[in-house]
Structure 1
Amino acid sequence: MAHMGSEDDPVVSEYDVFITPELEHQLYVLQYINRPPDLPFTKATQSQPSEIRIKPQSGFLEVDVPINIRSNYNKPQGVRWGEALRKTKGFGQKAYGTAAGFERVMPRMSTRPGAAGGEAPAAAAIDDDNIDEYITNFEDANEKGHVLNTQTFGGQIMGDEGSAPSYMVGTFKDDQLHLTKLNGLVQMRTEFHYLDATAQLDAVNRRREKESQEGAKPTEPKAFLPTVKKSGGDTAAELTQSFFKSANQEKWAKLQYSDEDSQLAYDAYSEHLFLADPSAAPKLHSTMNNSQYLDNISAPSKKRRAPRRREDLVEISDSDDEDV
């Protein structure tokens, strides 16, 4: 690829550009919006992700990164948030926020007449309220899962939908630039699942307290009237509701993470992001000339107005002698 320079903008280097074949695997770029670029999530910075999970159909992706709980860490609050997550997960909450379709799992808290046994097992987990003990024995509590010790980042894959631009990742080798098409971008932001879990646990406790005060209501027979519902709609609200429902039902798939300095990462980099035999690569030929190319990348311009005829022109005089 050549570039015409000038004295003010000289050409400093030239590269031959190659496009790699389409990958069999999905290739995404994760952009951490609130993370400084000089502090990547790597083993060298003591922040290697501990878990990565994805919902392929709905496109949600989450990354868990360890938190340093021994420096500038609020232990009482960390235990409370950790307990909220542990308890809500204990009675079936698999995801939070948008990735869960904003759905909450609410356990059955009381025994109905005629039911066997006592309260649901989830109630026992909610009763476990040894916050002070966990703070005192903090290291032991952390090992047993009572402490919030990870920070979660999440986002949704932005794929190529036709109207959006197609992104590529470039790798350099000597005087060659190899371009590989991306399957999508993911803008990762901090997720506050522990706040969702705290609010959910508060709602469970309020319901439990209400039932203890009012007593368990016996199950009464109700009239059943069959109705026919539409299987699906095409309005914006119905499509959104359907999407969140399917996102809630979709299970997480865990991914394997390899640090950027690992041999596996270097092998994948060399194998997938470079053209194997550049000398045998066919040359690309453009179907547009320079003018057509500039027209295609430029913003659309308004149609030019037809020139006015001479008799349509109005002469305006700046003389003071004529009446206005």
Structure 2
Amino acid sequence: MATHLPTLRQLRYLVALAEHRHFGRAAEECFATQSTLSAGLQELESLLGATLVERTKRKVLMTPLGEEVVTRARDLLRAAEDIADLARAGGKPLSMRLRLGVIPTIAPFLLPRALARLRTLYPDLKLALREDLTARLLDRLASGELDAAVLALPYEASEMEMVALATDPFVLVCPPGHPLAARDAVTGGDLAEAELLLLEEGHCLRDHALAACSLPAPKRGEGVLGTSLGTLVQMVASGMGVTLLPMLAVDAGILAGTGLVTRPLAMGGSRRLGLAWRKSSARKDEFRLLGNVLFGR
């Protein structure tokens, strides 16, 4: 006798309910009526012979077994989406939907030219972009909300496959009258004595810049922090200190009109730029091609 298995629709209903903890919002996400979603979940519980959802008048809770089933259901749904995407491509690369995450210290400086190249070479590609910090992009990548992400490396994420595609050197940025502006190259000792302006915690560029110069991270609450590279530039222009910027941003014109100058780092510090995707994805070759196009390789 054949074993009856859960359907992808039933699993999608369960995952949506676990995320929203509300039958109405879960049904809306699944393009189903609330009664249809509720009936589908009851069928799933009957099929498995176990309770997955605790239903009360005030809130929705997952049972311990329900939480475990949700975790495995997410993996199954991601795999099913990868299979469908692979079939829809029909052997033609970069010809369908692709949800790409990009960190904010890369997106505005890389994408304008890169997207023009993509449109020219792969006009059938339907690209959806999301800009966010690395940790949140990787969470979305793991949950299947994104297909790939453009990141600065290194970054620890054992469940992801990552490929480095470019090197992005750091340079010192300072006003032309600053003492460091007279240096041919700036050392770590110079930076340790300077009023170094950094991005706030959560931006991987902050950690990469400090590591590149062998500088310790400031203690929580110490130092002046910026929310974006553009903010850092304006802070330096107003005489608040100096900063480290990736050459990608400088080449894209972030210093235009400020009068600020750059100086190379004697230690040659840099970050690596690349692409990440789930190790389980069936679109690895396509992502590698995407990365090469984005970085002009």
TM-score by length of 1: 0.19
> Relative to total residues, which structure has the larger helix share, 1 or 2?
2
> Relative to total residues, which structure has the larger strand share, 1 or 2?
2
TM-score by length of 2: 0.20
The structure with more radius of gyration = 1
Q: Per chain length, whose mean CA-contact separation is higher, i.e. which structure has more relative contact order (CA < 8 Å, sep 6+)?
A: 1
